[in-house]
Structure 1
Amino acid sequence: MTRGRSPGNQAAPEQAQPARAVGRPRTIEAAHASLAQLLTLIRSGRATTRLELEHEAELGRAVVADRLAILESLGLVEEGDLGQPGRGRAPRHLQFRGNAGALLVGALDRSSIAVGVADLTGRLLVEHHEAADLGVGPAAILDRLTTLLLWLMEDHGGKPAIWGIGLALPGPVGTGGGEAGPQLALETLEEWARLDLVSEMVLRFGAPAWVQSRTQMMTMGELRSGTGAPDMLFVNLGHAITAGVVSAGRLHRGAQGVAGMIGHAPTGEDGAVTCRCGSRGCLEAMAGGEAIARSGRAAAQDGRSRHLADALARNGEVTAADVGHGAQLGDTFCAELMVRCGRLVGESLAPLVNLLNPALVVLGGDVNASGDILLAAIREAIYRQSHPLVTRDLRIVRSQMGGSSSLVGAAQVAADELFATEMLQGWITLGTPRRLPDLLDLANVARSRSRADAPARPPAPR
C-alpha cells in the first residue's frame, strides 16, 4: 500500500512542479469515497439516521439518499428500529448487515487446530477445537483446516458467502518486503516457513486472507472482549514466551511485524540449554513450557518429585501441565519450580511495564493455566522491580478466554482489515470483496503455481 509523503520545505521557484488543477474529484472516486464513508459511520454506530449521516459526512440530503439506496441494494445496510421522535416524525435508524457475509477464522498451534465462523462485525458465532500435530506438514494440516472450515460453514447454514479469512500461527509472522507477502517464521518447521499461506487460503476460499502470529491475534481477542484496556500488555506463556502490546487501543506490530518476542530477553542466569535464537539464558529457554517440562522430567527421573515420577510412569512423559498440577497439590519441587519461572517472567516484564505504563497485564497460554503460584510470583516480581507510579493502578490478571481468544482476535483483525478505508473503497461498488481484481489476480497466480508444483508433490493420503 502506498502512503502519501509528508509535506516538506517548498522547492525553490525554478524547481517547483507544475501547479495541480484544483476541482471536484472524479464522479466515480467521489462515489466510492462517500459510500465507504457512510458505511463506516453506520457500521461504527457514530451515525445511524439520515440526519446524523448528513451532518457527520458533510453531504447533502440528496447525495446521502442516493448512497443509502446503493448500500441497501448491495445488501450492506438495512433499516432498523425507530428512534426517539423530535419535532417531527421519529427517525428510522440504519444498521449494518453483519450477516451479509461470513468470516472464516483459524488458529494453529503446534498441537492443536481451532476454527470458527464469524459475522462481518467480527462477532464469533461458532467454534471448534481439536488436537493436531503441525509436524505432519502443511499439506495435511491445510487440508484438515479446509475441511473443518467448510464443515462449520455448512453446519451453520452455509448461506453467507465467505468474505474474509483470519488465520493465527504459532510463530512470529513478519511482513514481507516489496511484493512478498507475510513471512512465516516457525523456526524448526521449515516447510511452513516456505509456504505462501495467504495465496493458499485465497486459492482455497476465493476471499481475502490475513495472517498474524497467534499471540497478536490473542491480544486482539482480549482487547475486543470487553475485559481488555486501551493500554495493555498480553503475555502468552506457552512453548514460547511472547507478548502483544496495545497502545491507545492499537496493536503495535513493529517494523517487521514481529514485535513482542520477549522470550529471547536475557535473564542473567546461566543456562546449559541453548535457546532457539542461539543464545543461552534466554527467558524462553529458562521458563518456557518446554523448559518447565524438561526440568520436571529430570526431577521425576532422579527422585526429587514423587508426583512427577508417577506422571512419568503413567504417561511416559512429563509436561508443564503436570508440573503446574503438582504445584497445586503441594509438591515441593513443582511449587519451587513454578515460583522460579514466575520470578523470571516477572523480572523480564518489569522493564516493559516501566517503559509502556500499561493499565492491564493479561497472562495467557498453556503455562498460565498452572494455578495461582505462577501468577503470584509474576505479580510479586513486577511490583518489586517496577516504579510505584506505573504499578499504582496496574492490574495483572489471568486470561479467561482460553483458546477462544485467538479466534476472536482473528475475526476482529479480518473485519478491521476488510472495512479499512482503502480496502473498502476498492470493493464497495462491487458489492463484495470476492470480486476485487487484485484478489482474482492473486488466485490465478496461486493456481498456476499450484499446477506447476503438482508433479513434484506426493499423492494425498486416502
Structure 2
Amino acid sequence: MTPDDVVGSEADEDTSLSRGPRRPLSFVHVAQLSDLIEQARRFPQGVSRSDLAETLSMGRNAVDRRLRTAVEMNLLEPAGRGASTGGRAPEMWRFNPGAATMLALVISYRQSTAALMTLGGEVLERRTWEEGLLQPPSRVLTRAAALLSELRTARPDLPGPWALGVSLPVPVDFRDGSLVLPVTGAGTPSQWTSYPLRTRLARHLSMSVWVDDEVNALALAAASRVGAPSDILYVRISLGLGMGIVSNGQVHRGAGAASGEIAHIQLAGTGGERCRCGRQGCLETVISGAAIEREARAAHALRGSPYLREVMSERDTIVDSDVFRGVAEGDRVCVRIVSEAADRLSGILAVLITTYNPGEVVLGGTVALCGPQFAHTVGQSIRRRVLPVTAERLRVRIGDPDDALVGANRLAAERVLSPHVLQVWLPHGSPAGVEELITHRRQDA
C-alpha cells in the first residue's frame, strides 16, 4: 500500500454526493481532488488514470477515489478510450464544462458587459451597455446587478450559476478585491476606490464574487488556451494602456497589485502632454486609446481622412474604436496613426521581451478591432529590435474580443475549484448560496 493509499483510505467517505458525504473529506483529499480536476481541464481530449497517477504522484487507488468523487460531482465525464500501448486501451476522463454555469462582468472605462457562461468559458448569453469606470459606481453597479439577475435565470434548462467573476481596467488588490488606483490626477474615478463592489454584488446575487484587474483576466484567458506557452505578455490598448504577465503558466500580480503597470513609465522626449497621473512624459500619453483619439481629432488628420471627417460629423467626436475600425477598413490616416503607436510600443516591448523572453505577446483590448494588421506591424518592429534567438520562438497575435469575459470566468472558476474554497462548499453539493463564500473577505485564500 502506497502513502497515497493511506491518505485516501478515508475513501469510502466519497460515496454519493447527492446524499452528501458521510463526513467531511480531509483537506489532503480535497487538495488532491482539486489538482485532479485542474489537470483534466488542461487536456480537453481526456486523460487516463495512469496519466493522472504519474502527473499528480498519487497511487492508482487514490486516483480512483478522487475520480469517483469528481464524476459524482459531474465535473468529470468519460471520454472514451485512449490509444493502446500494447494492452487494453485505457479509459479516458475529461472535464465537463457544462457541469455548471458562471456569471462574468467586465467593466471597462466606457462600456460594460455581463454574461452567462459555461464553467468552461463559453458565452451563452450577454448584455452590453454604454457605462463604465468613467461613470459613478452606484450607477454602473445598479445596472450590472439588474442584468446579472436577469442572466442567472435566462437559461432554466441549464445548471444555475456558481459564482461571479469581475474584471476592471485598474489595479486590484487581490487579497480582498478592492481597487487600487495608482493615479490621482484630474479625471481619475477615485469614487470607485472606496466602493464596496464585491460586497454589494455578493449580497445582491447571494453568490461568491471574485475581482481582478482586467489585464490579469486577459492574461488568464491567454494562458488557458490549449497549447498556450507558459510565459506570455498580454498588452491591452483601450482608452488606457496595461499589461498582464503569465509566468510559468500562472498570472503574476506582483507585490503591490501593480505588475505590468507600464502606462506610467516616464519617457524622455515625449513632449509636454500631461498624463492623468499628473506627471508629464508617461508612456500612456503617446501609446493608448486616448493618445490615438487626440491624434485622430487633430485638424491635419481630419483633412486627410474622409472616414474620420464622416465620423466627426455624425457624432461630433472620435473615440479609439473609430480609429481602430478605420485601420481594419484600410483608411490611410488611421493606419498611419496606429502604425506610429505600434512602433513606439515595440520599442518598449523589445526591452521587456529581451528581459523576459516570453513565447507569446498578445495584443488585446479595443485595439483588437484593427484585426491582424496591428499584430503584424508590432511583430515586425519587435523582431528588428531583438536578437534572433529571442525572436525565433516568439509569436505576436491579436487577442480575442471575449478574452476579458473568458478571463473573468476562468478567475471565478479557478477560485471555486481551489482546495480551500472547494472544502467549504463540497458538503453542500454546490458553491451557490453558501453563506461562508458570500461573506468571505479574503479572495486569495
Query: What TM-score, normalized by structure 2, do the two folds share?
Result: 0.79
Distance 1:374 1:272, change over 3 A: farther
Preserved contact between residue 39 and residue 52 of structure 2 (Cα < 8 Å): no
Cα distance between partner residues in 1 of 2:430 and 2:201: 17
Deviation at 1:407, TM superposition (A): 1.0
Cα deviation, 1:344-400, whole Å, max 9, x if unaligned, reads 11111111011110111111121343366644542343223223321123222222x
Preserved contact between residue 237 and residue 364 of structure 2 (Cα < 8 Å): yes
Residue 236 of structure 2 corresponds to which residue in structure 1? 236
2:140 matches 1:141: yes
Aligned runs of 1:253-264 on 2, under 5 Å? 253-264=253-264
Cα distance between partner residues in 2 of 1:77 and 1:336: 50
Question: Match of 2:178, as an amino acid?
Answer: P
Aligned runs of 1:384-399 on 2, under 5 Å? 384-399=384-399
Deviation at 1:157, TM superposition (A): 2.0
Preserved contact between residue 152 and residue 160 of structure 2 (Cα < 8 Å): no
Question: Match of 1:194, as an amino acid?
Answer: S
Residue 183 of structure 1 corresponds to which residue in structure 2? 179
Deviation at 1:129, TM superposition (A): 4.4
Cα distance between partner residues in 1 of 2:423 and 2:264: 41
Aligned runs of 1:167-206 on 2, under 5 Å? 167-176=166-175, 180-185=176-181, 188-206=188-206
Preserved contact between residue 267 and residue 281 of structure 2 (Cα < 8 Å): yes
2:426 matches 1:431: no
Residue 28 of structure 2 corresponds to which residue in structure 1? 33
Residue 103 of structure 1 corresponds to which residue in structure 2? 102
Distance 1:235 1:93, change over 3 A: closer
Question: Match of 1:146, as an amino acid?
Answer: A
Distance 1:391 1:207, change over 3 A: same
Residue 458 of structure 1 corresponds to which residue in structure 2? none
Preserved contact between residue 299 and residue 305 of structure 1 (Cα < 8 Å): no
Distance 1:85 1:265, change over 3 A: closer
Preserved contact between residue 38 and residue 53 of structure 1 (Cα < 8 Å): no
**How many positions carry a matched residue from both structures?**
415
Question: Match of 1:209, as an amino acid?
Answer: V
Which residue of 385, 388, 409 maps to 2:407?
409
Distance 1:307 1:155, change over 3 A: closer
Deviation at 1:242, TM superposition (A): 0.9
Deviation at 1:239, TM superposition (A): 0.7
Residue 44 of structure 1 corresponds to which residue in structure 2? 39
Aligned runs of 1:265-304 on 2, under 5 Å? 265-299=265-299, 303=303
Between 47-56 and 93-102, report the one with greater CA deviation: 47-56
Cα distance between partner residues in 2 of 1:258 and 1:247: 15
Q: CA RMSD in A?
A: 3.8
Cα distance between partner residues in 2 of 1:25 and 1:376: 52
Cα distance between partner residues in 1 of 2:327 and 2:438: 54
Deviation at 1:326, TM superposition (A): 5.1
Between 366-375 and 110-119, report the one with greater CA deviation: 366-375
**Corresponding residue SS for 2:269:** coil
Preserved contact between residue 35 and residue 71 of structure 1 (Cα < 8 Å): no
2:359 matches 1:359: yes
Deviation at 1:422, TM superposition (A): 2.6
Distance 1:343 1:30, change over 3 A: same
Preserved contact between residue 37 and residue 57 of structure 1 (Cα < 8 Å): no
Deviation at 1:274, TM superposition (A): 0.7
2:112 matches 1:113: yes
